[in-house]
């Protein structure tokens, strides 16, 4: 029918398709509502992901043919109740309302002046049933709702959730403002990971717990062994010095005994070097994360480029999921 739908399939650790989870937009979920048992059955019986996607497309096309127009006319009480709720809440808090009065975006500012949006998808049974709430949060946002509740109650719960995440966003904003973040390029408010540049072709990937942002995050170093190993040792030796009273960034500096390259002094191009195979920095959104271990070389590569290159060499060898071979640059 010429319609595009976004879908995400989460595979478990054992990569068994039958235990996969499907995530999709509320719109697609609504269309596939009566076909859940068929989807589960197909997940169990399909040998691989590709054949399941083909099956999914067929099911979706049948579902679209059988779905009546999704814009069911709403009862007049729905509109009078919604307009009354918006009046009480205040139109100054409304960022967007669609023409069908089914999707509403509300805006809010947290105590640090950061702007946030919450999107409400209302169904025809509002206010008996709560709207679907979409937020850019690193944690799940669940609304507690009673039939006598209104949009003001959701808005107040949204404000309370913003304050509970204040420390997390403070920590991330300090990292984004004072260091060179290589990935993600334009982090969303829900992003909990940052890959921070330490030096030339050396970086650290940190994963921050949004519920406990002042605790030691998971750290993973990327770079040549001779540079990365001393950093790992420092992190392990100094772990006991972690102080929840000071900022996450300051703690990382103290533990690793380094200063991260400053945005004020250096440009990103000073340490964000292009891949030695494809000569680009970004490849499908990824930055080069494999570095030659020879101190005189230190050339970075994208994992995908390097893997493809080494697979084509007769001299390289593979053991399980690790491939060994010579550097395309220095042949070491």
For residues 267 and 280, membership in a common domain is answered with no
Say which CATH number the domain at 100 has: 3.10.110.10
How many independent structural domains does the chain possess?
4
Q: Cα separation of 216 and 208, whole Å? A: 8
Is residue 1 in a domain?
no
> How are beta strands 181-183 and 193-199 bridged, if at all?
antiparallel
Q: In this predicted structure, what is the pLDDT of residue 271?
A: 65
Is residue 23 in a domain?
yes
User: Which ranges in 90-217 belong to alpha helices (H)?
Assistant: 151-164, 166-178
Is residue 2 in a domain?
no
Q: Cα separation of 302 and 189, whole Å? A: 27
Q: In this predicted structure, what is the pLDDT of residue 70?
A: 53
For residues 191 and 236, membership in a common domain is answered with yes
For residues 278 and 308, membership in a common domain is answered with yes
Is residue 209 in a domain?
yes
Q: In this predicted structure, what is the pLDDT of residue 116?
A: 97
pTM over 0.75: no
Q: In this predicted structure, what is the pLDDT of residue 68?
A: 59
Q: Cα separation of 51 and 35, whole Å? A: 18
Q: In this predicted structure, what is the pLDDT of residue 26?
A: 84
For residues 103 and 149, membership in a common domain is answered with yes
For residues 134 and 54, membership in a common domain is answered with no
Contact partners, residue 273, CB within 8 Å, separation at least 6: 200, 201, 281, 288, 299, 300
Contact partners, residue 223, CB within 8 Å, separation at least 6: 198, 201, 202, 203, 291
Are 146 and 127 in contact by the 8 Å Cβ rule? The answer is: no
Q: In this predicted structure, what is the pLDDT of residue 192?
A: 96
Give the closest residue to 300 by CA, choosing from 325, 322, 328.
328
Q: Residue 291, Cβ neighbours under 10 Å: how many?
A: 25
Is residue 260 in a domain?
yes
For residues 56 and 90, membership in a common domain is answered with no
Q: Cα separation of 29 and 7, whole Å? A: 10
Q: Cα separation of 131 and 299, whole Å? A: 52
Q: In this predicted structure, what is the pLDDT of residue 104?
A: 96
Is residue 312 in a domain?
yes
Is residue 105 in a domain?
yes
Q: In this predicted structure, what is the pLDDT of residue 280?
A: 81
Let me know how long the chain is: 332
Q: Calculate the CA 155 to chain-centre distance.
A: 24
Low-confidence stretches of the chain (pLDDT beneath 50): none
Q: Cα separation of 254 and 235, whole Å? A: 9
Of 45, 69, 93, which residue constitutes the final position of a domain?
A: 69
Kindly list the strands in the beta sheet with 202-207, ordered across the sheet, starting from the edge strand earlier in the chain. Answer: 181-183, 193-199, 202-207, 218-222
For residues 198 and 226, membership in a common domain is answered with yes
* Beta-bridge mates of residue 22: 9
Question: pLDDT for 209-249, tens place per residue?
Answer: 999 999 999 999 988 888 889 999 999 999 999 999 999 99
Say which CATH number the domain at 289 has: 3.30.40.10
Range of the domain at 220: 179-272
Of 135, 153, 170, which residue constitutes the final position of a domain?
A: 170
Of 254, 272, 290, which residue constitutes the final position of a domain?
A: 272
Say which CATH number the domain at 184 has: 3.10.110.20
């Amino acid at each position: 029918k010429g319609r595009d739908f976004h879908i995400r399939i989460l595979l478990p650790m054992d990569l068994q398709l039958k235990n996969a989870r499907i995530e999709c937009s509320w719109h697609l979920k609504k269309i596939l509502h009566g076909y859940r048992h068929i989807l589960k059955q197909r997940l169990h019986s399909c040998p691989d992901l590709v054949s399941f996607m083909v099956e999914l497309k067929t099911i979706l096309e049948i579902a679209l043919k059988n779905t009546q127009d999704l814009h069911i006319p709403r009862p007049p009480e729905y509109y009078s109740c919604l307009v009354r709720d918006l009046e009480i809440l205040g139109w100054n808090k409304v960022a967007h309302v669609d023409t069908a009065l089914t999707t509403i975006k509300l805006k809010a500012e947290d105590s640090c002046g950061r702007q946030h949006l919450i999107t409400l998808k209302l169904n025809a049974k509002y206010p008996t049933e709560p709207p679907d709430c979409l937020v850019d949060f690193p944690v799940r946002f669940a609304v507690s709702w009673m039939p006598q509740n209104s949009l003001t109650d959701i808005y107040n719960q949204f404000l309370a959730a913003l304050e509970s995440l204040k420390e997390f966003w403070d920590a991330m904003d300090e990292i984004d403002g004072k260091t060179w973040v290589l990935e993600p390029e334009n982090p969303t408010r829900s992003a909990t990971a940052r890959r921070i540049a330490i030096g030339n072709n050396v970086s650290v990937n940190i994963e921050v717990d949004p519920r406990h942002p002042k605790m030691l995050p998971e750290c993973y170093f990327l770079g040549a062994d001779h540079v990365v190993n001393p950093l790992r040792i420092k992190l392990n030796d100094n772990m006991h010095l972690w102080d929840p009273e000071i900022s996450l960034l300051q703690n990382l500096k103290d533990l690793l005994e380094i200063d991260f390259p400053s945005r004020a002094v250096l440009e990103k191009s000073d340490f964000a070097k292009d891949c030695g195979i494809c000569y680009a920095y970004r490849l499908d959104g990824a930055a080069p994360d494999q570095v030659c271990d020879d101190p005189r070389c230190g050339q970075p590569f994208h994992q995908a480029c390097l893997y493809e290159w080494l697979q084509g060499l007769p001299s390289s060898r593979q053991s399980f999921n690790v491939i060994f071979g010579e550097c395309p640059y220095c042949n070491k």
